Amino acid sequence: MPFYFSIRRMAQDERLRTVEGLIRLRAQLDDEMPPKTRNDTIVLGTWNIRNFDDNRFANGPRSKEDYFYIAEILSRFDVIAVQEICEDLGPLEDIMYILGREYDYILTDVTEGVSGNSERLGFIFDTAKVRFKGVAGELVLPDSLLIVDDQRKLQFSRTPFMCLFQSGWFKFAFSTVHIYFGSDTGKKFARRVDEIEAVAGFLAKRAKNDPMNHILVGDFNIPKIGDKAFNALADRGFTVFQNHKGSNKDQTKFYDQISFMSQRMEVNKSDGDKAAGVLQFFDSIFREEDFPAYRTRLIEAQRDKIASYTEQIAEREAKILRARTESSKERHRDKIESLREAILQAQDVIGDDAKLKNYYLQEWRTFHGSDHLPLWVELKIDFSGDYLGRLQAS
């Protein structure tokens, strides 16, 4: 369970807002998610926690209040795959401190390159319930499975990550992905489909040669159920736990998925009515009616944007002086013009309460909670009765 001791050190208004938010969030979690059991089931999930947490988009770094909300959600999982963990692990360590000593994590290094976005993938797990089995690795494609994009042969834009875990009788290879986004049409969408086919095909081939249950989750950037991106999983033999509510903040897209390839029919949902779902945490935190409480932070974020854009303009002006070609100078001038327009827009938002509220709802809160919602599934992990039955029949 999360530890709340440091809430006492918050300023009074932030402390009261955090306490009230946690009370609402805990009630929602109790109502919608299955309770964690000791031996019978495991609560497994996936969550893309947007840009956690480097403030590269100048919407303000996450605060202690935000950390408590995120930790509360994570505490309801026995093991959860996480995406978009950034290079600085300090914010994650703050989350782990709230979660307590029984929780641990294992992550990749950051993925370099434009598509990699300096992100990490990984898993956070309750060591009292889930054991890491000592095997972990990034999934690297052999030459025969490389992704083709405009005559280039590529690895994944962000390297998938797999770890072996065990909980009770249940042993499983847990893999997580953050698939290339690009566009919903054309060549970039085709590359997205190719990435899903590649990781699913790679794991399907491996699953045929080992006795391990495979669970594949993450941000697949799947727009809707039934399109080519979604079918790429099923076509490679994976069964998808179909969530009928979207996992983006407006719940209109089905970006995030949980899928499996089972050995001996060992991947089975629990029988409860809360066995799978999507958590719409904006019902409890960062609600529309909470906008007045965050007005000061919203204005600070806009001012930070203005300061950042002003600094970038100065850097571009210096580059113009050093540029050797007119085309290079023109690129910098175009960027400066767009930055000046962004400054005017930020100033406009500060001065217009309706626009400030829209910024809060559409952008700001997605960088303090996330623009993705957590998915979960509750699986059975006690196979002792089945095992004894097989012994009796043998």
CATH number for the domain that contains residue 117? 3.60.10.10
Residues 252 and 315 in one domain: no
Alpha-carbon span 22 to 3, nearest angstrom = 12
Under a CB-based contact definition with an 8 Å cutoff, are residues 356 and 350 in contact? yes
* Residues β-bridged to residue 240: 259
The radius of gyration of the chain's CA atoms, rounded to the nearest angstrom, is: 23
Residues 313 and 174 in one domain: no
| Closest of 287, 236, 230 to residue 254, by C-alpha | 230
Tell me the per-residue pLDDT of 341-354, one tens digit each, with 9 for 90 and over.
999 999 999 999 99
Tell me the per-residue pLDDT of 5-21, one tens digit each, with 9 for 90 and over.
999 999 999 999 999 99
Under a CB-based contact definition with an 8 Å cutoff, are residues 84 and 178 in contact? yes
Tell me the per-residue pLDDT of 258-316, one tens digit each, with 9 for 90 and over.
999 887 778 999 998 999 999 999 999 999 999 999 999 999 999 999 999 999 999 99
* The total number of residues written for the chain in this structure: 394
Count of CB atoms within 10 A of residue 208's CB?
A: 9
- State the average pLDDT over residues 235-247: 86
* Residues β-bridged to residue 257: 218
Pure H helices in 119-185: none
Under a CB-based contact definition with an 8 Å cutoff, are residues 199 and 191 in contact? no
How high is the pLDDT of residue 114?
66
Residues 237 and 155 in one domain: yes
Helix, strand or coil for residue 27? Answer: helix
Alpha-carbon span 43 to 258, nearest angstrom = 12
Residues 53 and 173 in one domain: yes
Alpha-carbon span 108 to 118, nearest angstrom = 11
Mean pLDDT, the chain, rounded, equals 92
| Closest of 89, 87, 80 to residue 163, by C-alpha | 80
Tell me the per-residue pLDDT of 16-57, one tens digit each, with 9 for 90 and over.
999 999 999 999 999 999 999 999 999 999 999 999 999 999
Under a CB-based contact definition with an 8 Å cutoff, are residues 163 and 146 in contact? no
**At 120, which amino acid appears?**
R
Residues 323 and 219 in one domain: no
User: Two tokens at 239?
Assistant: 């069964």
| Closest of 20, 104, 128, 111 to residue 65, by C-alpha | 20
Q: Is the backbone peptide bond immediately before 66 cis, with ω within 30 degrees of 0?
A: no
Residues 231 and 297 in one domain: no
- Round to the nearest angstrom and report the end-to-end CA distance of the chain: 43
Alpha-carbon span 82 to 233, nearest angstrom = 20
Residues 81 and 175 in one domain: yes
User: Two tokens at 147?
Assistant: 């992704």
Residues 248 and 327 in one domain: no
Domain membership of residue 360 as a residue range: 292-365
pLDDT exceeds 80 at position 249: yes
Residues 326 and 235 in one domain: no
Residues 241 and 312 in one domain: no
Residues 259 and 307 in one domain: no
Number of domains in the chain: 2
How high is the pLDDT of residue 159?
87
Count of CB atoms within 10 A of residue 28's CB?
A: 18
Residues 278 and 240 in one domain: yes
Q: What percent of the chain has pLDDT over 90?
A: 71
Pure H helices in the chain: 12-32, 64-74, 90-99, 186-208, 228-235, 295-322, 326-350, 353-362, 384-393
Q: Which span out of 137-151, 158-172, 174-188 was modeled with the highest average pLDDT?
A: 158-172
Under a CB-based contact definition with an 8 Å cutoff, are residues 140 and 202 in contact? no
Count of CB atoms within 10 A of residue 350's CB?
A: 19
